[in-house]
């Protein structure tokens, strides 16, 4: 069963965001990893990269397809999940935990409130089928 944690915010491109110590942690949703199938490779951004909401920031490749990962908010990439380089399957196993992709420091924390709630994102996923 696909999970939609209520403490997270989402975007309709299937990324999630969680605020930790004033920094936005970003990953892909359980719905997205389920649709992709087994993740075999992740290309992460460089630390220090400045991003705008909607920018292509990373790439995830699975046995089915390659997909871009977009920045849900603007800011600067301050950390990447290097564990994904050797263990990309973490995206499938723990999409809301150890399977996160990167962290963004932002001056606009209010941007998080403008993202989709878990319930709103769940409706988006149902619309996709």
Q: What pLDDT score does 129 carry?
A: 64
Per the CB < 8 A criterion, the answer to whether 77 and 47 are in contact is: yes
Per the CB < 8 A criterion, the answer to whether 103 and 15 are in contact is: no
DSSP state of 76: E
Q: How confident is the model at residue 2 (pLDDT cuts 50, 70, 90)?
A: confident
Q: Look at residue 54 and tell me whether its pLDDT is greater than 80.
A: yes
Q: Does residue 110 or residue 88 have the better pLDDT?
A: 88
C-alpha span between 6 and 30 (Å, rounded): 13
Q: Phi then psi for 59, rounded to 5 degrees?
A: -135, 140
Q: What pLDDT score does 93 carry?
A: 96
Per the CB < 8 A criterion, the answer to whether 61 and 44 are in contact is: no
How far does the chain reach from its first CA to its final CA, in angstroms? 14
C-alpha span between 94 and 33 (Å, rounded): 10
């Amino acid at each position: 069963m696909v999970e939609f944690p209520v403490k997270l915010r989402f975007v309709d491109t299937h990324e999630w965001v969680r605020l930790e110590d004033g920094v936005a942690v970003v990953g892909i949703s359980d719905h997205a990893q389920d649709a992709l199938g087994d993740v075999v490779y992740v290309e992460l951004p460089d630390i220090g990269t400045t991003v705008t909401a909607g920018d292509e920031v990373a790439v995830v490749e699975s046995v089915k397809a390659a997909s871009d990962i977009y920045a849900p908010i603007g800011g600067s990439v301050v950390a990447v999940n290097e564990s994904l380089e050797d263990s990309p399957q973490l995206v499938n196993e723990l999409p809301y935990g150890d399977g996160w992709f990167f962290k963004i420091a932002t001056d606009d924390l209010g941007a998080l409130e403008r993202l989709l709630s878990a319930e709103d994102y769940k409706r988006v996923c149902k619309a996709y089928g």
